[in-house]
């Protein structure tokens, strides 16, 4: 798993993690006990990926593959990046 | 160490901490902490060694609670932020309130979607308070302009008053074990029945510890067909409410607060209802020294024209010195200080990010 610098800074984790998992969902679930801050930064309470976070398997968005059920193979790189989604209005006016 | 005046200032781009001596001759500014992430709730906890808490809402990676034990020289993340259980199904959007609880180390947090969380270890772990968070009214609450949020927590002995937009005013008289809606006299002019049991868009609730029978509410006003519903007072611990808006230029506003040394002196920031900015572009704080019986405009030192900002519900506070200063922050990033309870204003900082919340304390 490859993590953006912003996420590493926010969650206090290294930029790369080696995981053994059969699917994307399984890889994320492994993070919950081992790297709880990182898990909470990627996933909401429900387990869904946060709306402004994108996951890529190699160069493809997992949403365009099979989502959390996307199968992983040895050597795959799962990249976690914040979305380009700035400029949202302040909502507490 | 001599007493210091501390301001914890939550902005759209992180938290700032300003510090001055008791004469408030000049404030030094530190920050931003949690840079880039909006801060909508902060607390200066003066129980024991002072601690500054702040929410930090990273739009990508979620919520954190930050804490400082050295008056804002640096901050660390607490063990966790409030979060719903997987089984609950709700997803935390924001933290809107941080308040000291009854017990040592206890914190209370109001969140969006509207729910109450409690920490017994200074913010390292949190549990949801089901009495209000799973109240039978919960499925019927609707989001106001700021979202569906529990934004106000007011404690007085064994009573806990909550403000929910839009849910209204809820009161527990058993320390938070049970809550009931008490909204008699609080209007919801945006509903077909303007006086429902619950569903009001309460903006802020204020109380003074010397007179816990008396409460004040800034409610969602600004409706020509329902004049005066925006600023209200209760003299029976929040069970019923009546208007005290007569004499104000607008009954729309977000904050309301009580003078730290006088339960009869109450302050509001009237805003033009459609733009939610200063009426006529001339900002003023309005003060009643008669519990809302009459109002006076406080504007000495404030701009006289061409100022169209908003003061958000938690962006105003007093220090507690003998002659207290009142501070408010604006959505245009100005931080103002009004000496002698708001009699005489000067701008401490002109160009901060939009200010969401502000707490003041003498430590």
| DSSP state letter for A8 | H
For residue B12, list chain A residues with Cβ-Cβ distance below 8 A.
90
Of B38, B86, B356, which is closest to A46 when you measure between CB atoms? B86
pLDDT for the residue numbered B144: 85
Instruction: Please answer yes or no on whether B59 and A6 come within 8 Å at the CB atom.
Output: no
What would the pLDDT profile of A5-59 be if each residue is shown by its tens digit? 999 999 999 999 999 999 999 999 999 999 999 999 999 999 999 999 999 999 9
Name the percent of chain B lying above pLDDT 70: 100
Q: With H, G, I as helix, E, B as strand and everything else as coil, classify residue B204.
A: strand
pLDDT for the residue numbered B146: 84
Of B60, B85, B86, which is closest to A50 when you measure between CB atoms? B60
What would the pLDDT profile of B96-147 be if each residue is shown by its tens digit? 999 999 999 999 999 999 999 999 999 999 999 999 999 999 999 999 888 9
| ipTM metric | 0.85
Inter-residue contact B94 to B149 (CB < 8 Å): yes
Instruction: Please answer yes or no on whether B356 and A91 come within 8 Å at the CB atom.
Output: no
Q: Spell out the residues 6+ positions from residue B301 whose beta carbon is closer than 8 angstroms to its own.
A: B338, B344, B345, B346
Inter-residue contact A42 to A4 (CB < 8 Å): no
Q: Once rounded to an integer, what is the mean pLDDT over residues B232-251?
A: 98
What would the pLDDT profile of B343-361 be if each residue is shown by its tens digit? 999 999 999 999 999 999 9
CA–CA separation, B359 and B145 (whole Å): 23
Domains of chain A with CATH codes: 2-82 (3.10.20.30)
pLDDT for the residue numbered B248: 98
Of A11, A46, A93, which is closest to B310 when you measure between CB atoms? A93
| DSSP state letter for B279 | G
For residue B40, list chain A residues with Cβ-Cβ distance below 8 A.
92
Question: Which ranges of B95-176 would DSSP assign to H, the alpha helix?
Answer: 130-133
For residue B82, list chain A residues with Cβ-Cβ distance below 8 A.
none
Centroid of chain to Cα B15 = 16
Give the gap in angstroms from C-alpha A44 to the nearest C-alpha of chain B: 7
Q: Once rounded to an integer, what is the mean pLDDT over residues B195-222?
A: 97
| DSSP state letter for B272 | B
Which residue is it, tokens 């008699």? B184
pLDDT at B228 over 80: yes
Is the CB of residue B40 less than 8 Å away from at least one CB of chain A?
yes
Chain A residue nearest residue B314, CA to CA: A92
For residue A48, list chain B residues with Cβ-Cβ distance below 8 A.
91
Instruction: Please answer yes or no on whether B147 and A85 come within 8 Å at the CB atom.
Output: no
Of A40, A45, A48, which is closest to B84 when you measure between CB atoms? A45
Count how many pairs of residues, chain A against chain B, have C-beta atoms within 8 Å.
Answer: 68
Of B86, B331, B354, which is closest to A45 when you measure between CB atoms? B86
DSSP assignments along B38-106, one per residue: ----EEEE-SSS-EEEEEEEETTTEEEEEEESSTTS--EE-S------TTT-----EEEEEEE-SSTT-
């Amino acid at each position: 798993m490859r993590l953006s610098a912003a996420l590493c800074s926010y969650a206090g984790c290294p930029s790369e993690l080696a995981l053994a998992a059969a699917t994307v969902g399984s890889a994320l679930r492994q993070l919950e006990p081992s790297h709880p801050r990182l898990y909470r930064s990627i996933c909401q309470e429900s387990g869904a990926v946060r709306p402004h976070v994108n996951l890529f398997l190699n160069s493809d968005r997992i949403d365009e593959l099979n989502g959390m059920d996307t199968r992983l193979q040895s050597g795959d790189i799962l990249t976690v990046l914040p979305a380009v989604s700035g400029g949202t209005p302040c909502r507490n006016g | 160490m001599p007493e210091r005046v501390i301001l914890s200032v939550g902005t759209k781009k992180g938290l700032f901490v300003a510090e001055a001596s008791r004469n408030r001759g000049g404030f030094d500014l530190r920050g931003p902490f949690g840079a880039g992430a909006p801060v909508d709730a902060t607390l200066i906890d003066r129980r024991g060694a002072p601690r500054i808490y702040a929410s930090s809402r990273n739009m990508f990676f979620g919520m954190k609670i930050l804490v400082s034990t050295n008056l804002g020289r640096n901050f660390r993340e607490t063990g966790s932020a409030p979060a719903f259980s997987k089984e609950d199904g709700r997803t935390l959007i924001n933290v809107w309130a941080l308040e000291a609880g009854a017990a040592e180390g206890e914190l209370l947090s109001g969140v969006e979607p509207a729910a109450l969380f409690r920490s017994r270890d200074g913010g390292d772990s949190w549990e949801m308070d089901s009495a209000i968070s799973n109240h039978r009214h919960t499925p019927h609450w609707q989001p106001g302009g700021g979202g569906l949020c529990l934004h106000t927590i007011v404690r007085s002995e064994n009573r806990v008053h909550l403000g929910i937009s839009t849910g209204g005013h809820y009161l527990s008289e058993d320390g938070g074990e049970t809550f009931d809606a008490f909204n008699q006299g609080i209007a919801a002019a945006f509903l077909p029945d303007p006086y429902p049991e619950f569903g009001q868009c309460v903006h802020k609730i204020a109380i003074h510890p010397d007179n816990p029978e008396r409460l004040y509410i800034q409610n969602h006003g600004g409706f020509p067909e329902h004049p005066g519903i925006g600023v209200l007072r209760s003299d029976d611990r929040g069970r019923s409410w009546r208007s005290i808006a007569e004499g104000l230029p607008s009954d729309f506003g977000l904050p309301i607060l009580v003078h730290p040394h006088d339960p009869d002196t109450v302050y509001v920031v009237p805003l033009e209802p459609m733009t939610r900015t200063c009426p006529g572009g001339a900002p003023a704080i309005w003060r009643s020294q008669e519990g809302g019986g009459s109002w006076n405009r406080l504007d000495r030192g404030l701009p006289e024209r061409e100022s169209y900002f908003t003061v958000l519900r938690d962006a105003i506070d007093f220090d507690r010195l003998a002659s207290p200063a009142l501070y408010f922050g604006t959505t245009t990033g100005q931080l103002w200080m009004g000496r002698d309870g708001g009699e005489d204003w000067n701008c401490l900082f002109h160009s901060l990010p939009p200010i969401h919340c502000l707490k003041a304390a003498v430590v």
